[in-house]
Amino acid sequence: MTLADQVLEGNIRAAARLMRDIDDGRPQAIEELKQLYPHTGNAFIIGITGPPGAGKSTLVDQLTASFRERGKKVGVVAIDPTSPFTGGAILGDRIRMNRHSCDEGVFIRSLATRGALGGLSRSTSDVALVMDALGMEIIIIETVGVGQDEVDIVKEAHTTCVVMVPGLGDDIQAIKAGILEIGDIFVVNKADRDGADRTARELSTMLDMRHAVEGSWSPQVMKTEAQRGTGISELTDELLAHRSYFLSSGTINAFLRERTQRHFMAILRDSLLKRALSFMAKNDSLDTLVTDMNDQRIDPYSAVEVILSRMIPDAADY
């Protein structure tokens, strides 16, 4: 019985094992993913993003509990800032949501922002794919969000929830402006803090100024106190409401097509680079090239052309 077969039967240990194999870049993992692919596309994927300190982890914890109460299996992919030296995730599964640790209906996975060969968005979609195949009905992707990486990750989600918090300083206005456009639902968390109402009002005003298309989804600003669980049930309802809109409005078709293409491109990018690396390793050419570049005998642009012309003989044709 393959790992993929076991995942499809709902075997959590097999899923965890497969995710490790993916992380380690084992070729066999790709074969397992190929087997899983036709069985995916059933989960409702929710993206949670916002600046550090907004209380996203606590909110995700509460949402997980809320979906569990409604009988749904929940997968969580938490993107943690990485230590660039140790390579591991800082927060880690370890300290995340201990209260769900005995619940077979919850699967939590932390991803470190390490980059390397596979980009973070690539890893995220692979992990989400495994969770989907495992039978998780809700998949929550949590990310600290301002960069392009985060925007790419959020594109994996059917519904994106942007979490803000009162009084995070001057740059926040700028972040808001960027993030307004990716949010389907906005949350002002820590709503008991000073300035919560103002932050919510400002957000609403900014959202109202956007050009609304007739019949399109109009994002609401919700208030929560994740620590106490206040506003969580309402947020869960709103998430499901957005899902219904998404499914009924036909928006989902273009979304799925775009996502497939992005997923394909990410795999293509990785595979190309991997091929080039093996090519250079086989020819022992990387070290020599780096030395030549360092001594300014060749510039990196020309060096790339050299490698490409050797690796893809008729490259000039396209």
* Cβ at position 113, least distance to a second copy in Å: 4
Distances (CA, A) of 192 to 170, 197, 219: 21, 9, 22
Query: What is the pattern of x (binds a second copy, CB under 8 A) and - over residues 133-172?
Result: -----------x-xxxxxxx------------x--xxxxx
Measured from the Cβ of residue 122, the count of other Cβ atoms closer than 10 Å reads: 19
By CB under 8 A, is residue 46 in contact with a second copy?
no
Return d(Cα 13, Cα 24) in angstroms, integer.
17
* Cβ at position 304, least distance to a second copy in Å: 5
Q: Which of residues 189-248 bind a second copy (CB under 8 A)?
A: none
Query: What is the pattern of x (binds a second copy, CB under 8 A) and - over residues 260-279?
Result: xx-xxx-xxx-xxx-xx-xx
Distances (CA, A) of 14 to 17, 64, 94, 107, 140: 5, 22, 19, 12, 20
Return d(Cα 246, Cα 259) in angstroms, integer.
15
Of 13-21, 217-225, 242-250, 280-288, which segment contacts a second copy by CB under 8 A?
A: 280-288
Q: Which of residues 77-116 bind a second copy (CB under 8 A)?
A: 80-85, 90-91, 113-115
* Cβ at position 286, least distance to a second copy in Å: 7
User: Binding a second copy by CB under 8 A: which of 5, 53, 194, 218?
Assistant: 53
Q: Which is nearer to a second copy, 146 or 207 (CB)?
A: 146
Q: Are 132 and 40 a contacting pair, CB within 8 Å?
A: yes
Q: Are 105 and 73 a contacting pair, CB within 8 Å?
A: yes
